[in-house]
Amino acid sequence: MNVPSEHLLVLAAGLFAIGVLGFLIRRNVIIVLMCIELMLNAANLTFLAASRQHSTAQVVNLDGAVFSIFVILVAACEAAVGLALIIALFRLKQTVESDALSEMKG
Amino acid sequence: MSGTWLLWFIPLLPLFGAAACGLIHFATLAARKKDPSASGPSALAPLVACGAMLGALGLSIAAFKQLAGLEVEHRVIESAVWPWIHVGSLHLDISMVVDPLSAVMLLVVTGIGFLIHVYSAGYMKGDPGYAKFFAYLNLFVFSMLMLVLSSSLIGLFVGWEGVGLCSYLLIGFWYEKGWPAEAGQKAFIFNRVGDASFLIGSFILIKLFGTLDLSDVNAAVAGVAADPSKAWWLTVAALCLFGGCTGKSAQIPLFTWLPDAMAGPTPVSALIHAATMVTAGVYLVVRLNPVFAFDPMVLTVIGTIGAFTALIGGTSAIFQRDIKKVLAYSTVSQLGYMFLGLGSGAFAAAIFHLVTHAFFKGLLFLGAGSVIHGMHDEQDMHKMGGLRRHMPKTFVTFLAGAAALSGLPLLSGYFSKDEILAHTFAHGGFYYVLWGIGLFTAAVTAFYTWRMVALTFFGKERFDHHHVHPHESPVVMWAPLAVLAVLSVFGGLLGLPPVFHVVHQLEHWLAPVTEPGRALLEAHGGVHELSHAVEWALLGLGAVIALVFAHLGFRRYVKGTESDDNVQRTQPALADFLVGAWKIDAQYYAKIVYPSKLVAFVTAVIVDQFAIDGLVNGAGGLATATGDRLKLMVDGSLKTYALWIGAGAVLLALLWMFV
């Protein structure tokens, strides 16, 4: 079965939209962090789709895969830092609601 | 020749003296910080300053003797040369050169300078700036000696600016009074106008000859005659240099700073504003006499300006009440005579008058200072009178100076002034008018001089006996007066007129310097000889006029001030016109100073405070206002930020896709 690249892109766009939407409307910072992961993975999927698109029967293009591995690496770091921040936030405010963070209000 | 490097020490000794006096001044200030009444080491300052002057005087006399021992054609001593500016094809070297002209100036500057330093030791005693005064005075002498000795026009200009600076510092010496500071600024600004003209003249000379070495310039003038365009530029250069002289030597149109310069201490007026600095212009013209004599038109301009300056200065002195103002206007007038002499091509006569004027005007200023000192800083002659009984030594020496200034027969001023007038008369043509003006001014001079003597030393004592107790000045003050009085009386021996059948010493001595200019004049037919009969007649006329008007001035005022009051009552407009120096200064105020102040006000308030400050403050205000609006976007909600980030990303994506 040969899945066309468009399908992959549509799936990625859908995942990204869900991530953005969740990022914007959810208040729980853990969920927001998860939404960011979702967006990153949507991006990974796009990379892989593009990479596949540029491969021929003879030459397999691995650029997208390499990028994806980098993104996964960064995402792991980001999750570690993000969760640490959330713990620090919880210690400070006894909540993980993002609305509690408004000290920077102009 | 060995030891010519010693010439450098003539100006350098006063410079070291100035530095030492400056250090003494700072030490005095430090001592005063601990104890406000302490005088510190300031008593050392006059010793250091006078010592430096004595050294310079000794070296000058030695240089003069060495010069006199040389053959007439080789009378030049040049010191080691210091290469100063070497840029491209322009080479400016500085060295000290003594030739007959600078030797005369050297002796005048160091000799009279030394006497005035001694006098100042008494006059300035007790002044809080005692050491500072001597530092400035020595610095002035250094600059003046640089001016006189420099081998190139640029070195001369350094001295020229230096004396201007010291003049400014010394006029404003008592700056805390307010008006001396303003007078100092006025002198400085007027001199700057002249100096700009001087510089332009120097630039033209560089363009023409590629050098500023004075002897090279003088030698190169002869080669210009063949080239009409170069000749034209040389005329312009001469006029520009003369413009510099009008500033420094207080000629029309830049003379009005000199009467105001009397705000300085009186020894300053004697040294700077009578004997030396103001004669720098005369020195410059004689030094570059071929440049000025090249075009007879330039000499006519110089003579005309000199004659009218003499007239304006002389008439302005008639009704002054301030004794120093009389002398100041008299100085303007006498400088006018010197330029009249230069304009007639009588370079030696002008230097002769410069020397005798340094003697008798220095004497008169110092005498006036002695009077002011004895009268507890009173300068109004209407509040003096009868001082001959209280200050006999000052009185006798002052009489000698007054007699010389008014040109009473056989005194120094008589010979020098009549020599200038005789040369002017001999020139003929338009110069008859100038001669008439000169003769009229001579009458005026005799009148105001003896009015001053009568008001100060004769008549009733018009001062308040309860508060003022006139006293004779100490010996350090009257001893210089006595020396100058002798010089004023016998100074005429330097240049007896040809009818006496003796050699005119000064003219003979200066001949190597003035010869190129005289040769140029001769080529134009500008050298005239008078018959002995005419000369006798002119000498007699000068003597009669001086005696008659001296007598008139004396007799009118010996009784008191009624004559002045009469004029004030019957001719207020005339008196006002003359006291205000023909209202020229008032015109400057109306036409130049006030418009400048208006422009300055408009610039300060409208352009600077309104437009420029408005722009600067507006930029700041704009940033603040923008920040005030933008900060509303930062509402502290994470989601809003995310929304903005998303919006930005979308915008960038759209831009990338469609643009």
> CA nearest B631 in A: which residue?
A106
d(CA A4, CA B233): 93
Residues of B in contact with A102 (CB under 8 A): 635-637
Any A CB within 8 A of B634 CB: yes
- CB nearest B635 (choices: A20, A32, A105): A105
Any A CB within 8 A of B629 CB: no
In angstroms, the separation between the Cα of residue A94 and the nearest Cα of chain B is: 18
Evaluate if residue B552 carries a pLDDT over 50. Answer: yes
Higher-scoring residue by pLDDT: B229, B433: B433
pLDDT at B635 (0 to 100): 79
Pairwise CB contact (< 8 Å): A24 & B633: no
In angstroms, the separation between the Cα of residue A104 and the nearest Cα of chain B is: 5
- CB nearest B634 (choices: A20, A32, A104): A104
The number of angstroms, rounded, from the C-alpha of B427 to the middle of its chain's C-alpha atoms is: 28
Query: Exposure string (b/e) for A55-75, b if CB count within 10 Å is 16 or more?
Result: eeeeeeeeebeebbeebeeeb
Average pLDDT over residues A36-64: 91
Average predicted confidence (pLDDT) for chain B: 90
Residues in chain A: 106
Residues of B in contact with A25 (CB under 8 A): 639
Q: Are A30 and A86 in contact (CB under 8 A)?
A: yes
Q: Are B225 and B208 in contact (CB under 8 A)?
A: no
Evaluate if residue A76 carries a pLDDT over 70. Answer: yes
Q: Mutation test of the interface with chain B: which of A21, A23, A89, choosing the one with the most B Cβ atoms within 10 A? A: A23
Domains present along chain A, CATH in parentheses:
5-95 (1.10.287.3510)
Q: Across chain A, where does the E strand assignment appear?
A: none
d(CA B364, CA B480): 11
Within 10 angstroms of residue B546's Cβ, the number of other Cβ atoms is 28
Most confident of B303-307, B374-378, B641-645: B303-307
Evaluate if residue A101 carries a pLDDT over 80. Answer: no
Per-residue pLDDT tens digits for B380-414: 888 888 888 889 999 999 999 999 999 988 899 99
d(CA B95, CA B151): 5
Share of chain B above pLDDT 90, in %: 56
Per-residue pLDDT tens digits for B490-535: 988 888 888 888 888 888 888 888 888 888 888 877 777 788 888 8
Pairwise CB contact (< 8 Å): B638 & A20: no
In angstroms, the separation between the Cα of residue A99 and the nearest Cα of chain B is: 6
Average pLDDT over residues B424-443: 92
In angstroms, the separation between the Cα of residue A66 and the nearest Cα of chain B is: 24
> CA nearest A29 in B: which residue?
B638
> Could you give phi then psi for residue A97, rounded to 5 degrees?
-80, 135
- CB nearest A24 (choices: B632, B635, B643): B643
Q: Across B187-317, where does the E strand assignment appear?
A: none
Pairwise CB contact (< 8 Å): B635 & A24: no
Q: Mutation test of the interface with chain A: which of B632, B635, B639, choosing the one with the most A Cβ atoms within 10 A? A: B639
Q: Which two tokens stand for residue B584?
A: 């020229």
Range scoring the smallest mean pLDDT among B7-11, B81-85, B337-341: B81-85
Average pLDDT over residues B432-457: 94
pLDDT at B354 (0 to 100): 94
- CB nearest A24 (choices: B631, B634, B639): B639
Q: What is the DSSP letter of B472?
A: P
Give the model's confidence band at B1: pLDDT under 50 very low, under 70 low, under 90 confident, else very high.
very low
Pairwise CB contact (< 8 Å): B636 & A105: yes
Q: Are B437 and B307 in contact (CB under 8 A)?
A: yes
d(CA A52, CA B35): 96
Q: Tell me the one-letter amino acid at B405.
A: L
Evaluate if residue A106 carries a pLDDT over 70. Answer: no
d(CA B561, CA B549): 18
Say what the pTM is: 0.80
Q: On the CB side of B479, how many CA atoms lie within 13 Å of its CA? A: 11
Could you tell me which residues of chain A have a Cβ less than 8 Å from any Cβ in chain B? 20, 23-25, 32, 98-99, 101-106
Question: Which of B15, B320, B253, B269 is closest to B119 using CA atoms?
Answer: B269
Evaluate if residue B223 carries a pLDDT over 70. Answer: yes
d(CA B331, CA B508): 27
Q: Which two tokens stand for residue B131?
A: 């050491």
Residues of B in contact with A23 (CB under 8 A): 642
pLDDT at B3 (0 to 100): 52
Per-residue pLDDT tens digits for B242-285: 999 999 999 988 999 999 999 999 999 999 988 899 999 999 99
Question: Which of B554, B339, B331, B544 is closest to B443 using CA atoms?
Answer: B544
Any A CB within 8 A of B36 CB: no
Per-residue pLDDT tens digits for B329-350: 999 999 999 999 999 988 999 9
Q: Are B347 and B515 in contact (CB under 8 A)?
A: no
d(CA B608, CA B407): 57
Pairwise CB contact (< 8 Å): B631 & A106: yes
Question: Which of B404, B398, B543 is closest to B458 using CA atoms?
Answer: B398
> CA nearest B634 in A: which residue?
A106
With both helix axes pointing from N to C terminus, report the angle between B280-287 and B153-171 in degrees, rounded to the nearest 10. 170
Both ends of chain B: CA-CA distance in Å?
A: 88
Share of chain B above pLDDT 70, in %: 99
Q: Are B417 and B498 in contact (CB under 8 A)?
A: no
Range scoring the smallest mean pLDDT among A68-82, B471-485, B634-648: B634-648
Average pLDDT over residues B538-552: 93
Residue corresponding to tokens 């010979």 = B415
Q: Are B406 and B446 in contact (CB under 8 A)?
A: yes
pLDDT at B215 (0 to 100): 87
